[in-house]
Amino acid sequence: AQTVTQSQPEMSVQEAETVTLSCTYDTSESDYYLFWYKQPPSRQMILVIRQEAYKQQNATENRFSVNFQKAAKSFSLKISDSQLGDAAMYFCAYRSVEYGNKLVFGAGTILRVKS
Amino acid sequence: DAGITQSPRHKVTETGTPVTLRCHQTENHRYMYWYRQDPGHGLRLIHYSYGVKDTDKGEVSDGYSVSRSKTEDFLLTLESATSSQTSVYFCAISEGQPLDEQYFGPGTRLTVT
């Protein structure tokens, strides 16, 4: 079974600075998909970014980008020019292509943004 | 926003009572999922459905059952609630392609006393 590990329970960043959230995963599959979700205090789950494992190029979405290291099974999220609205819980998630497209989530990282 | 609603949004119940949570979608997506969210565990899959009357277990399915008699509704039932089932429950929907986004409902906070 796949597992996802987020080793940083909590992170802080100064407004306008850059922060990187870590995620590692364990799998024996060669084809899979990775996601970062954001959960603000409203509890709503919001997709931030997604990555296909067979693509070498790292995904980017505006101020959000990932560093995908397939051999190391690492999928970190970089947030540039941090804003107060980025404060939230961030979840890394793994999706296998074989098992009903289910998501396996990490435990989450709380991101605090200081003004 | 994807059209997903969950009811009730909050519920307090006593140990041993049955509880049913409802997820309703207006997107006609094929896949529907139930997750629970607990501190230190992230979200964990309870059950999912890949079509009407087609369901399968997730990683934490013990004590839960589901039913899907219509495309738009996915019910989660706790036959006899226990305190360990106190949690926030999320429903999600997806078209089913691996890269497709899973859209999440607003969540239901369930407290079992």
What are the C-alpha distances in Å from A25 to residues A22, A43, A93, B100?
Answer: 10, 24, 9, 20
Confidence of residue B101 (pLDDT cuts 50, 70, 90): confident
pLDDT at B1 over 70: no
Distance from CA of A100 to the nearest CA of B (A): 7
- Given a cut of 70, is residue B84 above it in pLDDT? yes
A100 interfacial to chain B (CB closer than 8 Å): yes
Contact pairs from chain A to chain B, CB under 8 Å: 54
B9-31 pLDDT, tens digit each: 999 999 999 999 999 999 999 99
For A7-56, write each residue's pLDDT tens digit: 999 999 999 999 999 999 999 988 899 999 999 999 999 999 999 999 88
**Position A5 pLDDT exceeds 90:** yes
End-to-end CA distance of chain A: 41
